[in-house]
């Protein structure tokens, strides 16, 4: 980095010898804990380090056309409803960038090996301003309530299929099982096929792609084996090829109720359709964004319920009204406690705890300057744990939702403003439905001496799965087995 401009928000100095690399590694090791420490020490607008640093976009920024020439090189974490409002509503100032960050585009004249990077996993994340509005308008009909309600039967069939393999006494990795359910639902509703293996293969590649992208070795963009960049390009090719093949197959079949059908037939006011590159980009992002988040919400909720038998008993009373049947869309609307449990779970353990942005023009936030090119990270996790908004914020208390009504800038697991999650209604239906179906048939108990850790890489997930023992519904344990591990730091758990 030759010349740069730093935000003037307070923060720690670079480490001796290793410099800002030390600050970056410390933050990335546990972003939630480190961001909390920085807020406590420096206030609600804080630099991760007082030095040139980029997280989402760790190199020279000139490759990203809208930010060409930007000198900002600093990462600022932000906490608070009013600051959230300012960032989330000012669409012309706070940009999202493609998940590939500075690698988009990889160079002004990409080689054949690099070319898929310009379209794979770009989608809505990669467009801003008027372009974003246009794409969002084209995508919205695929997420209309009537469309989403129509996916209910697929969701029920797939969840039953997976749950039919459950036997009381078994120990199962419920994170893995929830992944299977949400992946198959995403494949069926997005691509119109329930061919589990194709969706699973694509999702595994996407997970590997994301963890390769986030590895420190990606600072070196040489296409040489065994550097991560070489692996990243291979994975990008595979994802690109597979998504394009799914798209080709979908074009051959008659129009259906799936989202891809909708995207293929979407037309703008001037009659223009999404081109091949845009379709591949949207399909990849919707598929990736649409399953891992829901999986994590389900897994965290099952963990919370296993630790709070009193809440589980109340939920069981509400589930009893279903008489053992899978809920219909109308049933779900009449289950306020189920809704409160899911909302409270996503408050306490938000599946997307940090929302990143890049500052598109020189700005001011909370009294500090942010040069164009700086990064802003909104900490939804810390907003959700603010005692001024949520009393006893670290406790799992679903009943609080009977009396509170926070604003969308105080409680926003799906974000807010023009970029609010387009799949929020889909996700709420899927999570409530699957949860009701699991718990109408079984109880899930944490084995004694369990260890539960979490990892944050855009989403927050239980690290290395979540093993639980299957019990029959009538066999509700009176007392929860506690657990140890890093996830204990995220909330207050019963002793």
* Size of the residue set binding ligand HEM (CB under 6 A): 23
The burial class, CB within 10 Å (0-12 / 13-18 / 19+), for 383 is: buried
Q: How far is the CB of 87 from ligand HEM (least distance, A)?
A: 9
Residues 322-351 that bind ligand HEM (CB under 6 A): 351
Residues 70-99 that bind ligand HEM (CB under 6 A): 96
CB 76 within 8 A of CB 55: no
Which of 344, 361, 445 lies closest to 403 in space, CA to CA? Answer: 344
381 binds ligand HEM (CB under 6 A): no
- Cα dihedral 409/415/421/427 (nearest 10): -90
Q: How far is the CB of 162 from ligand HEM (least distance, A)?
A: 18
Q: How far is the CB of 173 from ligand HEM (least distance, A)?
A: 19
CB 8 within 8 A of CB 76: no
How much of the chain is in helix, strand and coil states, percent to nearest 5? 50, 10, 40
486 binds ligand HEM (CB under 6 A): no
384 binds ligand HEM (CB under 6 A): no
Q: Which two tokens stand for residue 178?
A: 């929830």
- Interacting residue with ligand HEM among 413, 434, 439, 483 (CB under 6 A): 413
124 binds ligand HEM (CB under 6 A): yes
For residues 1 and 61, what is the distance between their CA atoms, to the nearest angstrom? Answer: 9
- Interacting residue with ligand HEM among 213, 289, 299, 466 (CB under 6 A): 289
- Quickly count: other Cβ atoms within 10 Å of residue 336's Cβ: 12
Nearer to ligand HEM, 235 or 286 (CB): 286
285 binds ligand HEM (CB under 6 A): yes
Phi then psi for residue 36, to 5 deg, are -60, -45
414 binds ligand HEM (CB under 6 A): yes
Nearer to ligand HEM, 91 or 113 (CB): 91
293 binds ligand HEM (CB under 6 A): yes
136 binds ligand HEM (CB under 6 A): yes
With CB under 6 A as the contact rule, which of the stretches 157-165, 312-320, 419-427, 485-493 interacts with ligand HEM? 419-427
Instruction: Give the x-and-dash track for 420-459 against ligand HEM (CB under 6 A).
Output: -xxx--xx--------------------------------
DSSP state of 124: G
Nearer to ligand HEM, 218 or 434 (CB): 434
- Interacting residue with ligand HEM among 297, 312, 372, 469 (CB under 6 A): 297
6 binds ligand HEM (CB under 6 A): no
For residues 386 and 395, what is the distance between their CA atoms, to the nearest angstrom? Answer: 12
Indicate the helix (H) or strand (E) that contains 474: none
353 binds ligand HEM (CB under 6 A): no
User: Which residues does 351 contact at the CB level (< 8 Å), separation at least 6?
Assistant: 293, 294, 296, 297, 300, 413, 459, 460, 461
Question: In 390-413, which positions are buried (b, 16+ CB within 10 angstroms) versus exposed (e)?
Answer: beebeebbbebbeeeebeebbbbb
Which positions touch ligand HEM (CB under 6 A)? Answer: 96, 124-125, 136, 285-286, 289-290, 293-294, 297, 351-352, 355, 413-415, 419, 421-423, 426-427
């Amino acid at each position: 980095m030759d010349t740069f401009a730093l935000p003037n928000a307070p923060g720690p100095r670079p480490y001796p010898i290793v410099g800002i690399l030390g600050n970056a590694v410390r933050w990335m090791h546990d972003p939630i804990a480190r961001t909390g420490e920085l807020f406590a020490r420096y206030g609600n607008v804080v630099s991760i380090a007082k030095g040139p640093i980029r997280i989402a976009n760790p190199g020279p920024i000139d490759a990203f056309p809208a930010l060409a020439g930007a000198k900002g090189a600093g990462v600022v974490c932000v906490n608070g409803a009013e600051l959230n409002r300012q960032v989330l509503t000012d669409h012309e100032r706070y940009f999202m960038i493609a998940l590939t960050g500075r690698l988009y585009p990889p160079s002004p004249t990409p080689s054949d090996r690099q070319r898929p990077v310009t379209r794979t996993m770009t989608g809505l994340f990669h467009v801003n301003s008027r372009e974003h509005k246009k794409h969002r308008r084209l995508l919205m009909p695929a997420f209309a309530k009537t469309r989403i309600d129509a996916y209910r039967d697929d969701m029920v069939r797939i969840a039953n299929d997976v749950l039919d393999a459950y036997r009381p006494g078994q120990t199962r990795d419920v994170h893995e099982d929830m992944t299977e359910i949400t992946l198959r639902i995403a494949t069926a509703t997005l691509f119109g096929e329930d061919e589990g293996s194709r969706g699973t293969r694509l999702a595994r590649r996407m997970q590997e792609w994301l963890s390769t992208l986030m590895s420190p070795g990606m600072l070196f963009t040489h296409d040489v084996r065994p550097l991560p960049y070489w692996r990243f390009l291979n994975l990008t090719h595979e994802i690109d090829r597979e998504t394009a093949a799914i798209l080709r197959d979908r074009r051959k079949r008659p129009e259906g109720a799936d989202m891809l059908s909708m995207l293929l037939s979407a037309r703008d006011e001037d009659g223009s359709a999404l081109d091949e590159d845009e379709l591949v980009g949207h399909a990849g992002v919707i598929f990736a964004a649409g399953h891992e988040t829901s999986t994590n919400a389900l897994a965290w909720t099952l963990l919370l319920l296993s630790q709070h038998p009193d809440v589980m008993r109340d939920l069981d009373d509400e589930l009893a009204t279903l008489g053992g049947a899978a809920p219909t869309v109308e049933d779900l609307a009449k289950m306020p406690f189920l809704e409160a449990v899911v909302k409270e779970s996503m408050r306490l353990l938000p599946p997307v705890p940090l929302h990143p942005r890049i500052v598109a023009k020189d700005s001011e936030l909370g009294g500090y300057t942010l040069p164009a090119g700086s990064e802003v990270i909104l900490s939804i996790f810390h907003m959700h744990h603010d005692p001024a908004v949520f009393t006893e914020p670290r406790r799992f208390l679903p009943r609080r939702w009977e009396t509170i009504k926070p604003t969308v800038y105080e409680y926003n697991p799906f974000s807010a403003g023009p970029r609010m999650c387009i799949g929020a209604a889909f996700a709420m239906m899927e999570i409530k439905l699957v949860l009701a179906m699991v718990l109408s048939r079984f109880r899930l108990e944490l084995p004694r001496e369990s260890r539960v850790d979490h990892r944050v890489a855009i989403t927050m997930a239980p690290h290395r799965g979540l093993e639980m023992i299957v019990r029959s519904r009538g066999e509700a344990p009176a007392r929860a087995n506690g657990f140890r591990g890093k996830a204990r730091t995220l909330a207050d758990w019963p002793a």
